[in-house]
Chain A
Amino acid sequence: MAASEHDVVRSELRWALVVGGFVAVTMGLTLFAALALHRNPPSNLERIDPKTLHLSGEFTEPNLGTRVEANGQITARIVATQFAFVPACVVLPEGREVTLRLASPDVIHGILVSGTNVNTMVVPGYVSQVHTVFRTTGDLLMPCHEFCGLGHSQMLARVRVVPGDQFRPDAQGRISCGPQ
């Protein structure tokens, strides 16, 4: 019962080793996931002026939605604004690498896509970019998950994931959900 001061220090040190091992394993797994599996948070550090993004360049209205680039890269461009996404629905293929690019002209927004690990904040002043591969087909929910004002709860978009053979963009490489 009567543990000497020496015993106390020894047992605490033993436990500290266990704790140190636990932290090391956790860090090791995270490092492995980051370096070997490329599991990194979205951090592309790309700036854009929220006051003018709708006037010229990538996020003007005709450029929004899904586009297959000449090199085959599939990108969906979406503007998150109080209190809607433009467009409110994007079509993307199952099983292929796709890129979501989002920007906000007004306040902070954020998105997740239900049933996937797609998640990013949309901060005015920056382009948020997420690379992913969708593994299930169907209409997935893409809500705004950050408070952006009293209409925040209405901000809900959809990602329509279609099987690869039904993903048929037009001659310009564009594809949309069509009239809702």
Chain B
Amino acid sequence: MVRNKGLILAHCWVAFAVFAAACVLGVWQMWVRSPLAAPYANPDNYFLSVTAHGVSMGFVLTTFFIMGFGYFVAETALQRELPGARWAWAGFAIGIFGTLLAVAMVVSGRATVLYTFYPPLTANPLFYIGLVLVVAGSWIWCVLMLIAMAGWKHANPGEPVPLAMFATVTNAVMWLWTTAGVSIELLFQVIPAAFGWTDTVDVGLSRTLFSWTLHAIVYFWLFPAYIAFYTMAPEAAGGRLYSDTMGRLSFVLFLLYSLPVGMHHLFMDPEHSTGFKFVQMFLTALVTVPTLLTIFTIAASFEIAGRLRGGAGRFGWLRTLPWDRPMVLATGLAFFMLWFGGGGGLINMSYGMNAMVHNTSWVTAHFHLIFGGTVVIMYFAIAYRIWPQLTGRAPTLRDRQLQRRQLWLWAVGMMVMTLPWHWLGLNGQWRRVAHFNYEDPAISWWGPWVIVSLAGGVVLLVSALLFISNLIRLHGSQSPRIEPLPARYALALHPPSRVPASLNGFGLWNALVLVLMLIAYAWPIGQFLQTPSPGAIVHRVGGAN
């Protein structure tokens, strides 16, 4: 029985409404870049749209969904009342106000700086202030998650914190660390420049601070997907989680190795030495460890489920898994796409090899596969799973069928869109331009492949709209009214009765993050405090004032 249904639904609906709008923009952008004539195509509209697409997907969809899902987990996994529900609503209101401010600036053309900002380009200060408010709203969520876990531990001394909540709090702790980088950049460099209080920006420093946030933010987005892999998918498949400890360990490794690695976004930058680039590349390689551990543990959990359902032989259990259940299907599709997205990522992080793909469509393909193919597809599956708890309506057979269709469309669209991008990227197709001159014989062969990827984008848009319609159906009267059962999380094969204190809290891990961050970033940031880069003159984008 979920108490704060309205709170959770409000967060999730804001997230998904913004997501649907951003999908429309994404398809239009691909259309503009293709050889086909698109309406409203000019650079002003294109880059305005790219900014809106990135801000919506990266900051709004993710932050609001993660907050809403966190509140759901805190109530259902801990089976206690959410502490500070009024504070949660306050965080929501601050986030909404910030979003409206940022969106108003973007839509009116005062903030065409893309979601990664690129100082010394500067937008209207209200754009940055709006985004800082979204982050501030999420900090309230972080504190509430910490309080909820502390309250539960106080009431259940020595008991292991349920895995779903342990993971949610890991994410909250990681997010507090993550947002420090971009917040310092915005508050001390970008916002003063946007107000006109400073004339120049130390671009070396601003890029370094942003890199601090830029990798860990992806793991912030990814956490709900991993929570679903560990605590929902094995249960949905009818099996057990193979190892609870491995789950805790993976989440802690994400906390450790997603922060001191952001400089892999700066491999091609001139303001850092090869030494620190190499150190952060090494730490980046270690972040593959929790991902590969997860793939093993979840595959083993699925094998248990498949064998319980009568699957025999080496691979027979794959056939007997209940693929008709959206959570199981989404997990399978997400793992499939993770091979491509993760494999591409390994090439990106490989230091010298990064030169082959940096700022080409290869990178666009990589993060769309990770974001859309692993993160967002699991957001869909989570929504399908928790919605009946929130609306009190059970999905009908027809609902289930439409949900499966939506997931398949998403996966097919994602592959059709990103495979040509990978290929074109390897062949040097560069990023972030509003159009290509397909008359140029050197690149005219790109045209048909760009159209193929556009077709993939259209399939994704159809899937996104079907997702919204599927959720609306679960509010409607054609679905039978049910008395929702308590939310269930996967039981471990050997449920832990005790876990080491280090895996039941965050003291040790926070200390280790601090050490790793000092190793990875103390000098790369400190060098600019000691000797600032020659300042770059602030450039206000059109209409920024």
Contacts and interface: CB of A to CB of B under 8 A. Distances in A.
Interface string A130-153: 000000000101011111111111
Contacts of A97: none
A148 B431 CA distance: 12
A5 interface: yes
Nearest to B307: A1
A150 B542 contact: yes
A44 B274 CA distance: 8
Contacts of B539: 82, 106-107, 149
Contacts of A39: 351-353
Contacts of A153: 43, 433-435
B313 interface: no
Nearest to B246: A12
B282 interface: yes
Interface in A1-15: 1, 3, 5, 8-9, 11-12, 15
Given A12-B297, A123-B270, A150 B282 contact: no
For chain A, which range describes its interface: under 10, 10 to 19, 20 to 34, or 35 or more residues?
Answer: 35 or more
Contacts of B50: 147
Given A12-B296, A34-B278, A145-B431, A119 B273 contact: no
B93 interface: no
A41 B359 contact: no
Nearest to B290: A19
B516 to A, nearest CB: 16
A145 B246 contact: no
A119 B266 CA distance: 12
Nearest to B359: A145
B536 A147 contact: no
Given A8-B493, A51-B535, A125-B535, A26 B300 contact: no
Contacts of B185: none
Interface stretch (A56-64, A86-94, A108-116): A108-116
Residue with the greatest number of chain A CB neighbours at <10 A, chosen from B354, B428, B430: B430
Contact of A150 (B112, B296, B359, B427): B112
Contacts of B202: 125
A40 B351 contact: yes
B104 interface: no
B355 A118 contact: yes
B297 A124 contact: no
Interface in B252-274: 266-274
A154 to B, nearest CB: 9
Contacts of B434: 152-153
Contacts of A128: 270
Contact of A126 (B204, B274, B289): B204
Contacts of B346: 26
A1 B437 CA distance: 61
A107 B47 contact: no
For chain B, which range describes its interface: under 10, 10 to 19, 20 to 34, or 35 or more residues?
Answer: 35 or more
A115 B121 CA distance: 30
A125 B533 contact: yes
Residue with the greatest number of chain B CB neighbours at <10 A, chosen from A5, A120, A123, A125: A125
A19 B352 contact: no
A114 B354 contact: no
Contact of B268 (A19, A42, A113): A42
A51 B243 CA distance: 59
B248 interface: no
Contacts of A46: 270
Given A30-B350, A39-B352, A45-B270, A124 B296 contact: no
Interface in B89-144: 112-114, 118, 120-121
Nearest to B244: A8
B11 interface: no
Contact of A19 (B200, B277, B293, B432): B293
A127 B270 contact: yes
A110 B203 CA distance: 14
Contact of A114 (B43, B289, B442): B442
Contacts of A143: 430, 433
Contacts of B282: 27
Contacts of B271: 45, 123, 125-126
A107 B359 contact: no
A117 B362 CA distance: 14
B14 interface: no
A22 B296 CA distance: 14
B356 A30 contact: no
Contact of A124 (B203, B281, B359): B203
Given A146-B432, A150-B47, A47 B534 contact: yes
B85 interface: no
A108 B120 CA distance: 8
A152 B433 contact: yes
Interface string B336-380: 000000000010001111111011100000000000000000000
A126 B269 CA distance: 9
B292 interface: yes
A129 interface: yes
Interface string B41-64: 001100100100000000000000
Contacts of B43: 150-153
Given A5-B494, A39-B352, 5 more contacts: A30-B353, A42-B268, A112-B360, A113-B428, A147-B118
Query: Shortest 7 CB-CB distances between A and B: which pairs?
Result: A39-B352, A124-B536, A114-B428, A125-B533, A145-B359, A145-B430, A49-B534
29 contacts: A9-B243, A19-B293, A23-B289, A27-B285, A30-B352, A34-B274, A39-B353, A41-B277, A43-B277, A44-B270, A45-B272, A46-B270, A50-B537, A51-B200, A106-B536, A108-B203, A112-B359, A119-B268, A119-B356, A119-B358, A120-B268, A123-B271, A125-B202, A129-B270, A143-B430, A146-B359, A148-B121, A150-B541, A152-B433
Interface of A: 1, 3, 5, 8-9, 11-12, 15-16, 19-20, 22-23, 26-27, 30, 33-34, 39-51, 82, 106-108, 110, 112-115, 117-129, 139, 141, 143-153, 156
